[in-house]
Amino acid sequence: MALFLTVISVLLLCQFLFIIWNMKQFPVLKPASFSSDEPISLSILIPARNEEKRIEACLQSIVNQRLYPKEVIVLDDYSTDQTRAIVERFSQTYPWIRVQSGRPLKPGWLGKSYACSQLAEVAASDWLLFLDADVRLKRGAIEAVYEQLCAQKTGMLSGFPEQKTGTFFEHLVVPMMMFTIGCHLPVKWVRKSKNPAFAAAHGGFIAIEKSCYHNIGGHEAIKDSLVDDMALARRVKEQGLPFTLASIHPFVYMRMYESGQEVWKGYRKNLFPGVNRSIALLSSVFCLYTLLYLAPVICLMMALLQLNVLSICLAILCYGLGVSIKAAIDIENGRTSAMAFLLPISILSLIAIGLASMKIGLKKEGYEWKGRRYE
């Protein structure tokens, strides 16, 4: 047991050093001095389906900016609540905000991709910024984003907003998105390599230059992809166009889910499709997580029963290194490190959701989200 734990501790130390380096590779959006009396050439595009609880705060965060976009277009995707009425109320005060009615979903398309495609058709700016309705922009966000876009000139920019969480299950699972990115994706290669394998994006915040968007085929080229953000990023990299995965959390935040049930359904929809439905890849990741983060806890309990002091110390060291990895990633992304101590429970939760996602994918039962079923 002592030898096993020694090997695990060395692996965890290497992982810790990697994430410390890796998290520093994110380009960081910085406060910008950009100012203009005229609206900038940026269209903010928001697909919305029954978002009455979220859309008002999203729009309010936009109108609170010092610098306004040229237009904000909200696509009402057959909402049955007050989504449209809320947007229309904003448009009375801010004429550059408007709502557009969505068309019936075409065969072969997924809902969000079709909504985004319709928005892009009518956008009039050089840059398109796709936002989810649960995204909030902090003051100064548009200046910071637009300055980065002007410097980049073309291509795509995405990033992971600061994740606000409320329920216990949200605290456990939602931050694991950045945990997997930090541990496995060399951020420097995302920016420098043309290999589409080194791509990551967040669908809640995607900025893309209009001609680049049309050159890669837009959302029509990825119309049947459940993980549309990753698919779009890969298309950009395949064309050799600039792609930036930036640290945007100082300016952008969101609460993706508002209950444990939503977390389960949302991650279940994305996990297996997110690894291209590869049983081998998902199983390998879960085996690695079990080895690094769960096995030391099991060994600690066994060592306590055996009163094996050396193994106890090594198991505690392994657990501490795992917690340190999680805490470093959380802190770097604007979160508290308190939940890092529950990393083994977070890992178990992620594995359970992943297995459920794999089961649905393999049995072709269909993933359910916002009243629609996706294969």
**Structural domain spans, the chain:** 2-23+274-374, 40-273
Angle at 282 between CA 223 and CA 161, to 5 degrees: 60
- Averaged pLDDT, groups of 10, the chain, 375 residues long: 91 96 89 68 95 95 93 95 96 96 91 94 95 95 90 92 92 93 90 83 94 94 88 91 91 91 89 84 92 94 86 93 96 87 96 92 73 61
Give the tokens for residue 101. Answer: 């009615």
pLDDT digit string, tens, across residues 249-296: 999 999 988 888 989 988 988 888 877 788 998 999 999 999 999 999
Given this model, what pLDDT does residue 27 score?
87
322 contact partners, CB below 8 Å, separation of at least 6:
12, 292, 293, 296, 343, 344
47 contact partners, CB below 8 Å, separation of at least 6:
75, 77, 112, 115, 116, 119, 130, 132, 133
Residue 165 near residue 174, CB atoms below 8 Å: yes
Cα–Cα distances in angstroms (integers) from residue 240 to residues 26, 196, 221, 230, 310, in the given order: 20, 9, 16, 16, 52
Given this model, what pLDDT does residue 362 score?
85
Given this model, what pLDDT does residue 216 score?
93
**Residue range 40-273, CATH number:** 3.90.550.10
Cα–Cα distances in angstroms (integers) from residue 181 to residues 123, 208, 329, 350, in the given order: 31, 21, 9, 14
pTM over 0.75: yes
Residue 221 near residue 213, CB atoms below 8 Å: no
Given this model, what pLDDT does residue 5 score?
92
234 contact partners, CB below 8 Å, separation of at least 6:
196, 199
Estimate to the nearest angstrom the gap between the alpha carbon of 267 and the chain centroid: 11
pLDDT digit string, tens, across residues 16-67: 999 999 999 998 888 877 666 666 899 999 999 999 999 999 999 999 998 8
